[in-house]
Amino acid sequence: MMRRDRLFLAATLTAIFSADLYFILLPKLRSMGQGSGHFCSCGPNNLTLPRHGGLATPQLSNWTSLPPLYDTTSEPIDGGSKLGRLFAHPLYNIQIPALGPEERLLHAEQLMEYYRRKVSRWERHMKLYSEAAAVSNITVTEHKVTFDPDASWLKFHLGISRYALYSRDDLAVPQLLKEMQSMTVIGADYTQDEKALKGACDCTQVVKPSGHHLKLALKMQNFAKAMFKPMRQQRDEETPEDFFYFVDFQRHNAEIAAFHLDRILDFRRVPPVAGRLVNVTGEILQVTHNEDLRAVFFTSPANNTCFFAKCLYVCKTEYAVCGNPNLLEGSLSAYLPGLSIAPRISIPNPWIRSYTFTGREEWEVNPFFCDTIKQLYPYNSGNRLLNIIDMSIFDFLIGNMDRHHYEIFTKFGDEGFLLHLDNARGFGKHSQDEMSILAPLSQCCMIKRSTLLRLQLLTRPEYRLSDVMKESLEGDPLQPILTEPHLLALDRRLQKVLRVVQRCVRRLGEDEVITKDFIKSTVKPQTATDMGKVR
Amino acid sequence: MMRRDRLFLAATLTAIFSADLYFILLPKLRSMGQGSGHFCSCGPNNLTLPRHGGLATPQLSNWTSLPPLYDTTSEPIDGGSKLGRLFAHPLYNIQIPALGPEERLLHAEQLMEYYRRKVSRWERHMKLYSEAAAVSNITVTEHKVTFDPDASWLKFHLGISRYALYSRDDLAVPQLLKEMQSMTVIGADYTQDEKALKGACDCTQVVKPSGHHLKLALKMQNFAKAMFKPMRQQRDEETPEDFFYFVDFQRHNAEIAAFHLDRILDFRRVPPVAGRLVNVTGEILQVTHNEDLRAVFFTSPANNTCFFAKCLYVCKTEYAVCGNPNLLEGSLSAYLPGLSIAPRISIPNPWIRSYTFTGREEWEVNPFFCDTIKQLYPYNSGNRLLNIIDMSIFDFLIGNMDRHHYEIFTKFGDEGFLLHLDNARGFGKHSQDEMSILAPLSQCCMIKRSTLLRLQLLTRPEYRLSDVMKESLEGDPLQPILTEPHLLALDRRLQKVLRVVQRCVRRLGEDEVITKDFIKSTVKPQTATDMGKVR
């Protein structure tokens, strides 16, 4: 009996050893052998990155002038930071001309006056509210509000120009991210969008069912305002394949990742977004003055504090989000300047989708759709169409199918940049590359040279998009923001974008496809109401 | 260089080998050593299974008379079938007296007449409908309807007695299960409940939000009717801990498993339920004559056929269920005889829960609640309270917190058995044993002797509940119906039930707690309207 056991032991050990040798050790040795070889560049070969001289009048600024977003990336540039190296690259250091007052969104005095008015109105309101609350036996936490002329949100607002939401070396952005992550919240309320619905969501419309919208406006101690979107989905959950894009969840991590990607692409058209663990009791329930909002809070069977959407048609708790027991992950997006001092216009995307089960829009069936669009104001001159194509590349990379409108600041007219707001429906499926999002690029066969160069740069191993994204996202307190498959999808999609450009170049030639930036508009604008509604 | 590689190789192999030895081989050898030992019985020691003579007048019928539910369990009883052995046990072969006509729910002639009327009404309707459909260009699949006096559903209905929904040796039950699994579906419609709502679900009520209710009534070729509940959740998904029981999903597999458990407990108060892969296009969309139902069908982005709840307030697709591309798992529960020939009464459960966020019912705060209930008709005599306790044990085992009402057949009055309908909210969390479901048992400290004996039997290794459940469920086409953790939870919960009984016996003595079955009622019934609403 003993001998059989020994034989069995010996046989088992041999088998385990062989399996280890075959499945673990040999592959390891093989990969070690490969590691000592040279990197193989995988970019498309006939679209090589030109020297800097190939750019439309690039003026190279100081290579090291760009501050890191977070302290974690502040290693020396020759150290391990790919992100630092990327931002130090000449392509990311093209100087724009000094800004005249008309090229800035706001004047400092105007904004300060606005801020002062807001603070004094808040103080009046607080006084009245505290008295009323005492009578109705409601306990509200009262935080002191500070008037801080050096607040980072003020600097962010003052830094908005006709070229971008912030400049590359704007120190206010990392400061604002930090403040959104930690500053005391003094107020919470529904957003204006939510209030406009008045809980009477129209269910005959399938567009934007607001049941999933639980976004709130949070006010910080120094009057910074941020939009809070709570976590609705785990990082590793994928959108079910049967979901239409318009009923998909909004993902807080997509909102965060989109800001970082937009910065890495050097668009700077997404307002700063930071992750934060919000205490739903202390930082929402106890600081809101809105009775409707207070009324949607409840304690779950697991003793967690939860709240649900205001929208009355949803039967409440199945839509709820819950803290653990009070802390809830979410994204905080910095508010843009109020519409009263910086009006924006919301314009339907020409490549809008049909928000119905069966409908199809013209661009989906007409391959020459872009020829029509190119004839139409404001797409018939200037950078507008190129900006739309930039936006489609951005949306393709994040997998966002929900870009029904875009916004611009009215002050800058048609030459202003497009705002890439509301990116929470990106990063839903890492395994699917929705090519239809690229329709503006593939149908118009145009791309800005500066965009293309940066995309090509990001395919290089030393600046690989997934690597710089990962590094950039590591600074967020809610890291990891994206799972590995989502990061790798970015590299794969980037290749697909370049392949579309390559096909266009092969068909039409480089001069037709790759367009110089900063083209001046030659057509007079029509009235704003032709284009969309002023917000 | 070569030598270093070799050294590395040798070191790695040694490390892998040691790890294997420690983590894989040694534990294996250890478990082999343990396997050769004896089973350790874990049942409570002071509540031993008495001899059969301990039962209230048990009359043992033929041990082998019980037919298996499915062919797969038809091995010889001395073979591997624990389920066969269980059903052959004397406890499962207590004969009830021969049934008089008043103890049967229906007369054969009455049911046949009802069936004949239904068939001819259907044929008239089909003729008119086909003409109308041809005019409006609707294609409806027309299946021939058969009038079959030997149909299993007729036998099932005729077999319902004042003691149970079916007798232990009723061959109609396995036949009915088989037919529900495969018979041609000739019609599909909303259930009466759903129709009563008329899509106008009241969202100010949190009770039973119907958005999750997608149940449909399917009609088979031989006029058998079954309620279809589609799969909403994967087998391995657990109900989120923050969900209230009243917003939990309905689970098709819980519906199936509950039928099997009820049969294993020998209650026979759940109508037969079978799993089926339903073709949502061919077996619902193309056979329904209900325009509303047809209107909720759509094709998903992944090209699957889907449908959503009728309830208008839900914004449709996020509640949808989808086939793949047409096939969808679901449970089919056999319909009980129509209310016109076999009226039922729906009675609020005395241990009903508060269907609000914060409310608490009296039983939750008053430990002497049962003393009050015991004074009240119909719980003050007969078996009613014992039946409620049976039901609470059943609900505790499946983890169902949603038993707000129960139903009885009016014909049998207060001595009739309780129907355990609607069990789809069971089996939500395998890791939680919700002791409050057992309140009727723990507060009243009473249990039927026959119930207790069977529960004790099911703790024995040779009849272990999880094993017989697993075996019973293996016959269903959608197997596996329950994941292993859910099966094991049954054993754990069974022990907890017995521990509650044990504590009662220790406190009050066996005579007070363990009650003889078949007590005759001594109190005259009041009017039915005092008790609940007649359905």
Question: What is this model's ipTM?
Answer: 0.73
Q: Name every residue whose Cβ is closer than 8 Å to that of residue A273 and which is 6 or more positions away in sequence.
A: A255, A256, A258, A259, A331, A332, A333, A334
Burial status of residue A38 (CB atoms within 10 A of its CB: 0-12, 13-18, 19 or more)? exposed
Chain A partners within 8 Å of B313 (Cβ): 203, 313-315
Interface test with A, best of B202, B210, B242 (most A CBs within 10 A): B242
The residue with greater pLDDT, A353 or A19, is A353
What local confidence, expressed as pLDDT, does residue B39 receive? 34
pLDDT confidence band for B3 (50 / 70 / 90): low
In this model, does residue A34 exceed pLDDT 80?
Answer: no
Mean pLDDT (chain B, rounded)? 82
- Does B24 sit within 8 Å of A16, measured CB to CB? yes
Q: Are A426 and A248 in contact (CB under 8 A)?
A: no
User: Look-up: residue for tokens 């919700």?
Assistant: B434
- For A98-113, write each residue's pLDDT tens digit: 888 899 999 999 999 9
Q: Name every residue whose Cβ is closer than 8 Å to that of residue A479 and which is 6 or more positions away in sequence.
A: A275, A473
Chain B partners within 8 Å of A244 (Cβ): 300-301, 317
- For A145-204, write each residue's pLDDT tens digit: 889 999 999 999 999 999 999 999 999 999 999 999 999 999 999 888 767 655 555 444
- For B439-476, write each residue's pLDDT tens digit: 999 999 999 999 999 999 999 999 999 999 999 999 99
What local confidence, expressed as pLDDT, does residue A3 receive? 52
- Does B211 sit within 8 Å of A318, measured CB to CB? yes
3-class DSSP assignment, residue B270? coil
CA distance B235 to B238: 8
- For A378-399, write each residue's pLDDT tens digit: 999 889 999 999 999 999 999 9
Q: Are A211 and A311 in contact (CB under 8 A)?
A: yes
- Closest partner residue to A12 (CB to CB) among B25, B318, B320 is B25
- Closest partner residue to B206 (CB to CB) among A242, A247, A317 is A317
- Closest partner residue to B242 (CB to CB) among A16, A25, A301 is A301
Tell me the two tokens of residue B331.
């449970």
- Does B12 sit within 8 Å of A322, measured CB to CB? no
Distance (Å) from the C-alpha of residue A322 to the closest C-alpha of chain B? Answer: 7
Q: Identify which of A336, A359, A331 has the alpha carbon closest to the alpha carbon of residue A346.
A: A336
Give the catalytic positions of A in this structure: 402
Distance (Å) from the C-alpha of residue B361 to the closest C-alpha of chain A? Answer: 15
Q: Identify which of A313, A200, A209, A199 has the alpha carbon closest to the alpha carbon of residue B199.
A: A313
Distance (Å) from the C-alpha of residue A385 to the closest C-alpha of chain B? Answer: 28
Distance (Å) from the C-alpha of residue B294 to the closest C-alpha of chain A? Answer: 14
Rounded to an integer, the average pLDDT of A303-325 is 73
Catalytic site residue from B402, B414, B422, B476 = B402
CA distance A269 to A519: 19
pLDDT confidence band for B203 (50 / 70 / 90): very low
- Does A25 sit within 8 Å of B16, measured CB to CB? yes
- Does B314 sit within 8 Å of A313, measured CB to CB? yes
In this model, does residue B156 exceed pLDDT 90?
Answer: yes
Neighbour-count burial for A196-209, b at 16+ CB within 10 Å, e otherwise: ebebebebeebebb
Residues above pLDDT 90, as percent of chain B: 60
3-state secondary structure A277-327: EEECCCCCHHHECCHHHHHCEEECCCCCEEECCCCCCCCHHHHCEECCCCE
Among A60-64, B35-39, B135-139, B437-441, the minimum mean pLDDT is found in A60-64
Distance (Å) from the C-alpha of residue A302 to the closest C-alpha of chain B? Answer: 5
Query: Would you put residue A362 in left (φ > 0), alpha (ψ -120 to 50) or beta?
Result: alpha
- Does B315 sit within 8 Å of A203, measured CB to CB? yes
In this model, does residue B206 exceed pLDDT 50?
Answer: no
In this model, does residue B247 exceed pLDDT 60?
Answer: yes
- Residue of chain B whose Cα is closest to the Cα of A296: B357
Q: Are A268 and A260 in contact (CB under 8 A)?
A: no
Q: What is the DSSP-derived secondary structure letter of residue A244?
A: -
- Residue of chain A whose Cα is closest to the Cα of B321: A242
Chain B partners within 8 Å of A25 (Cβ): 9, 12-13, 16
Interface test with B, best of A36, A242, A303, A437 (most B CBs within 10 A): A242
Measured in whole angstroms, the distance separating CA A171 from the mean position of its chain's CA atoms is 19
Q: Are A352 and A361 in contact (CB under 8 A)?
A: yes
- Does A315 sit within 8 Å of B203, measured CB to CB? yes
User: Which residue numbers of B have CB closer than 8 Å to A's CBs?
Assistant: 9, 12-13, 16-17, 20-21, 24-25, 29, 201, 203-204, 206, 209, 211-212, 241-245, 247, 298-302, 304, 306, 312-318, 320, 322, 357-358
- Residue of chain B whose Cα is closest to the Cα of A434: B301
Q: Identify which of A207, A268, A277 has the alpha carbon closest to the alpha carbon of residue A425.
A: A207
User: Using CA of residue A454, residue A456, residue A462, residue A467, what is the dihedral sign?
Assistant: positive
B511 included as an active-site residue:
no
- Does B316 sit within 8 Å of A313, measured CB to CB? no
CA distance B162 to B383: 12
- Closest partner residue to B242 (CB to CB) among A28, A29, A300 is A300
pLDDT confidence band for B118 (50 / 70 / 90): very high
Rounded to an integer, the average pLDDT of B105-115 is 95
